[in-house]
Amino acid sequence: MAGIKTFVDVLREAIADFEQHGFDSEERLEHWRSELQQVAQGHTAITTEHLKRTLTAIYTKDVTQGGLLRSHGISKWKLQQLSPRLRNELDRKIMAASSLIKLNREQMIATTLRRFSGWATSIPDGGTRFYASGDGSIRDVNNGIKKALKALPFEERRVMIDQAAKFKASLSNIVAVDGGAIAGVWRSHFRAAGYNARPDHVARDGKIYVIRDNWAMEKGLMKLGGREYTDQITMPAEEVYCQCRYKYLYNLRDLPDDMLTVKGLEALGRK
């Protein structure tokens, strides 16, 4: 919108003012710090409303439109039964992600203001013609001061992607545990181009991890068979920027024989 100053506009004015007057008072410094902070608050790619729309769209696709029915193979009735818990998870994630984005934004702005203060307080009382003379570059000062702020939209987009992955994994975990899953097969995201996979996550790819105290174990049909429980390792998307997932297993027939007890093998007619 015409007439609204950008962060670069205000920064240019602040630099020009300090070139002319120098660091002659705390009042001058605080005035420009306040101006820069105010305009910097709007220098962001992600808003709370954007965050809500993104996470709500995931909820709509996976819960309202039944995406979790297809990926988990549970009944529509069961998903409807879990809807209040899943809705609460949406509200919880929106609040947590909003707080994280706000914290990151405040840190980036604080870094930018520190850089400005460091430069401004180095200018002698009475000002300087160093930058106007051609011996220095006002562009370099601009870029150096706004470096952290320029990275903010990129960092906020990364946070958004990470929080979306965490939300999808959380919804899936709620459905799996409450829906009667007995185990999960780890699916690493390492095959995706450009994905920086953790080596231990790649090593987990295709391995089965058991949900503790599941119904099959309680009935004596299933055993660990040398595997680990899901609560003995980090969950998919739990670590920063992880986009791994579980393919959840619900039936005894999906397990290898070495994870079945004699009773379990007999139940499937494998013994």
The string of DSSP codes covering 188-247 is --TTSTT----HHHHHHTT-EEEPTT-HHHHTT-B--TT-EEGGGSPPTTTSTT---EEE
- Global pTM reads 0.75
User: Which contiguous run of DSSP H or E holds residue 140?
Assistant: helix 138-145
Q: What digits encode the pLDDT tens for the residues 188-247?
A: 999 998 899 999 999 999 999 999 999 999 999 999 999 999 999 999 999 999 999 999
How far is residue 257 CA from its own chain's centroid?
A: 38
Q: What digits encode the pLDDT tens for the residues 70-104?
A: 889 888 898 889 999 999 999 999 998 888 888 88
pLDDT given for residue 99 in this prediction: 86
Span 166-175, average pLDDT:
95
In whole angstroms, what is the distance from residue 59 CA to residue 244 CA?
19
Read off the DSSP letter of residue 12.
H
Is pLDDT larger for residue 222 or for residue 133?
A: 222
Contacts of 252 (CB under 8 A, 6+ apart): 182, 216, 221, 222, 260, 264, 267, 268
How far is residue 68 CA from its own chain's centroid?
A: 21
Query: Above 50 in pLDDT, residue 124?
Result: yes
DSSP assignments along 86-135, one per residue: HHHHHHHHHHHHHHHHHHHHHHHHHHHHHHHHHHHTTSPTT---TTTTTS
pLDDT given for residue 206 in this prediction: 97
Query: Above 80 in pLDDT, residue 41?
Result: no
In whole angstroms, what is the distance from residue 148 CA to residue 19 CA?
23
**Which range has highest mean pLDDT (34-38, 117-121, 212-216)?**
212-216
Query: Above 90 in pLDDT, residue 263?
Result: yes
Span 58-77, average pLDDT:
91
User: CA angle, 222 as apex, 216 and 227 as ends, to 5°?
Assistant: 120
Confidence of residue 159 (pLDDT cuts 50, 70, 90): confident
Query: Above 50 in pLDDT, residue 2?
Result: no
Instruction: Look at residues 155, 134, 125, 131 and name the one whose alpha carbon lies nearest to residue 144.
Output: 131
Instruction: Look at residues 114, 122, 121 and name the one whose alpha carbon lies nearest to residue 26.
Output: 121
pLDDT given for residue 102 in this prediction: 82
Beta bridge partners of 73: none
Confidence of residue 134 (pLDDT cuts 50, 70, 90): very low
Span 148-162, average pLDDT:
76
Read off the DSSP letter of residue 4.
P
How far is residue 57 CA from its own chain's centroid?
A: 16
Query: Above 90 in pLDDT, residue 271?
Result: no
